[in-house]
Amino acid sequence: MSVKDKIRQASDRAKESVEVPEWDVTIEVRSMSAKQRARFATLIDSGVAGDRVEGLWTNILTSCCFDPETGEALFDVSDMEWLLEEKSGAVIDRIVSACLEVSGLTPKAVDDAGKSS
């Protein structure tokens, strides 16, 4: 098997289960793909004011949240209006934080990565 074939077949995206007791569910959060992470970085660097956090949260929630039973994406862009309007900001923030953590995009994860090198 070629090196490229090995790389292509490798399963390198992290995932973890996150309990959301307020909703009586457990969801699966997965790390972002390289393309999703690049899109996230572009959103951060865009400097767009106003709806910037909402756009970041939309990107994160649609990229990282999955139904643990089916493996299907849990949310799409059409879900964001009700999700962000009706649900607790603290709950959404906790899920977003878990998504960022599993994607290696938190200060703690960056610090841990620096210590292991």
- Is 53 a member of any domain? yes
Please indicate, yes or no, whether the overall pTM of this predicted structure exceeds 0.85: no
DSSP character string of 59-82:
HHHHHHEE-TTT--BS--GGGHHH
Cβ neighbours of 92 (radius 10 Å): 16
CATH number at residue 48: 3.30.2220.20
- Is 7 a member of any domain? no
Side chain identity, residue 43:
L
Domain that holds residue 88: 14-112
Instruction: Please state the domain count of the chain.
Output: 1
Per-residue model confidence as pLDDT tens for the chain (117 residues): 999 999 999 999 999 999 999 999 999 999 999 999 888 888 777 765 456 788 889 999 999 999 999 999 999 999 999 999 999 999 999 999 999 999 988 765 544 544 444
